Structure 1
Amino acid sequence: MRQARRGQVNASCCACSAGPVVEEFATPRVTVFVCRACGHRTARHAATESNADYHQQYDQGAFLDALRVTRERQAPRILTWIRAAAPDATRLLDYGCGRGWFLDVAKAAGWNVLGVDTSPMAVELLRQRGIPATRELPASKYEVITLLDVIEHFRPDDLVPRLSALKADLMIIKVPTSSGLLYRLARGHALEQLYQVGTEPPHHHYFNQRSLRHVLSRAGMQVIGVDRDRDFEPSTLAARAGLRFPLTSLAGAVAAAAARVLRMEDSIIALARPTAA
């Protein structure tokens, strides 16, 4: 169960670098801290690291199918936003591309795409589909770099340095948010699922608009647009959560409608450019 907030921890926030962090809640497998200044959430996981290819952990039929439906729904909207901000761009790099569903849609829309992922399995799957992919980040600057559901997996000490190393004229960053309806309603095991406890790499962060702006600013980028989206489908919420109850499809529809009306969708999408020198 969620536990009461405890005393202040002697550490500064990895997002804003200013605020002290305090323990917000803990389970036997994860402890989550919140920054008193910007509200950024950071998780400390008790589980040991695994050397296995992380994509093998997600290779489960129902979960994977549900995730694919959501990513394919989101892709056209994100690409439309990119095109409006960079009408002449042709080259797009998806960092942390995973199974490449976003790149499939981008390639079909005429983009010259490249996928980058640390997973050998992911890279091989993309190459088999004719999508250029590599495990190493190219040294050259790209017109557009997308990081969709990626930086929440960065360790706190690596968050700003890894973002600072990316070179692009335009960046699109999508992250989970603690201001979303699902996060606010979650307790106990559901919170562990949101932080992907037991997988490697897990979620180390939950953002809000303020903390994401701080992170991007410290990485040398200026946010020029922010949007929100739900990160599940009403009909597949049960599969994403690993549940088998008949009423969960109805609950998914209710959650989706409530999140839309309240503007409490569970992901933030930010558009950013390098800060002018």
Structure 2
Amino acid sequence: MTAPIQHLPYQIDEAGNRHHFYENHWKQVGLDLLMRHCPPRGQTLLDYGCGRGEFLTLAGAAGYQVTGADVDPQCVALAAQKGRAVSLQAGDPLPQFGPQSFDIVACFHVLEHVENPRQVLTGLGRIARQCLILAVPNLRNLVWLFHRRIRLDYVNEGHLQSWDHYHFLNLAERHCGLELIEWGFDATALPLFSRLTGKLFGEKTQIRLETGLFKRAFPFHGISVLGLFRPRR
């Protein structure tokens, strides 16, 4: 009998947990990237798989008109405290929202959980009028560097697939009708060095290195594959 899949935590502590900090950091990186190419002028934005709704707060404060959608009723309730939130129907998002129904679509660390990412991503591209800001876990991260065997505990048990930048670009551009505008980079953890820094100097110093020097040295080995795309019409 398989164990139940653990959901994302309904409460996080950014100050006390480095991993919780990064759950919102990639959203802020995504927002900064979006604002460089699509400055907020009241555009409508759908956060597909909004979780607790932190991106609704960030994007709403920046000037976008935000709507969140999630399959988890508790997440919908939490997100509704930060903006408009609706229950998400699993599968193809196009029938629920309609073609070109939002200026912008955001989707952070959701596609790795869906059974048919090509269908979902194609649908999101048809929903968006202007652009999509997307993030998935990076299969090319460096946590495996010093491990000689596969360990299941390093994998999120709810993930059905994963990508590096090459394969995510292939999915988006060749199969889902999207075009890359620009990559964004969140943080890069270096095995041993990151852990040693945290033990000696604390997590704040560790975060500064992972979002600074380590990221600049190894940008494509970060936590997320994160990019801004536009739909091809």
TM score, norm. by length of structure 1: 0.63
The alignment partner of 2:180 has SS state of strand
Q: Which structure carries more strand by proportion?
A: 1
Could you tell me which residue of structure 2 aligns to residue 33 of structure 1? none
The yes-or-no answer on 1:163 pairing with 2:121 is yes
Q: Out of 159, 164, 171, which is 1:215 matched to?
A: 171
Distance 1:176 1:231, change over 3 A: farther
Report if aligned partners of 1:173, 1:269 keep a CA contact under 8 Å in 2. yes
Q: What is the distance in 1 between the residues matched to 2:135 and 2:143?
A: 17
Pairwise CA distance, 1:80: 2.7
Could you tell me which residue of structure 2 aligns to residue 228 of structure 1? 185
Q: What is the distance in 2 between the residues matched to 1:132 and 1:148?
A: 18
Could you tell me which residue of structure 1 aligns to residue 2 of structure 2? 48
Report if aligned partners of 2:178, 2:229 keep a CA contact under 8 Å in 1. yes
Report if aligned partners of 2:187, 2:214 keep a CA contact under 8 Å in 1. no
Report if aligned partners of 2:53, 2:82 keep a CA contact under 8 Å in 1. no
Pairwise CA distance, 1:74: 3.6
Report if aligned partners of 1:54, 1:119 keep a CA contact under 8 Å in 2. no
Report if aligned partners of 2:31, 2:59 keep a CA contact under 8 Å in 1. yes
Opposite residue 230 of structure 2, the aligned amino acid is R
Could you tell me which residue of structure 1 aligns to residue 232 of structure 2? 275
Pairwise CA distance, 1:95: 0.7
Q: What is the distance in 1 between the residues matched to 2:53 and 2:71?
A: 13
The alignment partner of 2:117 has SS state of helix
Structure 1: give runs of 5+ residues left out of the alignment.
Answer: 1-46, 239-244
Larger mean Cα displacement after TM superposition, 180-189 or 162-171: 180-189
* Corresponding residue pairs, total: 209
Counterparts of 1:1-277 in structure 2, within 5 Å, are 48=2, 50=4, 54-55=7-8, 58-59=9-10, 66-87=18-39, 88=41, 90-127=43-80, 129-136=81-88, 138-140=96-98, 141-155=101-115, 158-166=116-124, 167-168=127-128, 169-185=130-146, 191-197=151-157, 202-217=158-173, 218-230=175-187, 246=199, 249=202, 252=206, 256=210, 257-263=213-219, 264-276=221-233
Greater radius of gyration (CA): 1
Report if aligned partners of 2:133, 2:228 keep a CA contact under 8 Å in 1. yes
Q: What is the distance in 1 between the residues matched to 2:188 and 2:109?
A: 10
Distance 1:258 1:85, change over 3 A: closer
Pairwise CA distance, 1:253: 5.7
Pairwise CA distance, 1:259: 4.6
Distance 1:222 1:54, change over 3 A: same
Distance 1:90 1:246, change over 3 A: same
The alignment partner of 1:207 has SS state of coil
The alignment partner of 1:204 has SS state of coil
Could you tell me which residue of structure 2 aligns to residue 14 of structure 1? none
Opposite residue 177 of structure 2, the aligned amino acid is G
| CA-based RMSD | 3.3
Q: What is the distance in 1 between the residues matched to 2:144 and 2:218?
A: 14
Report if aligned partners of 2:131, 2:228 keep a CA contact under 8 Å in 1. yes
Distance 1:84 1:255, change over 3 A: closer
Larger mean Cα displacement after TM superposition, 179-188 or 83-92: 179-188
The alignment partner of 1:181 has SS state of coil
Q: Which structure carries more helix by proportion?
A: 2
Q: What is the distance in 2 between the residues matched to 1:255 and 1:96?
A: 30
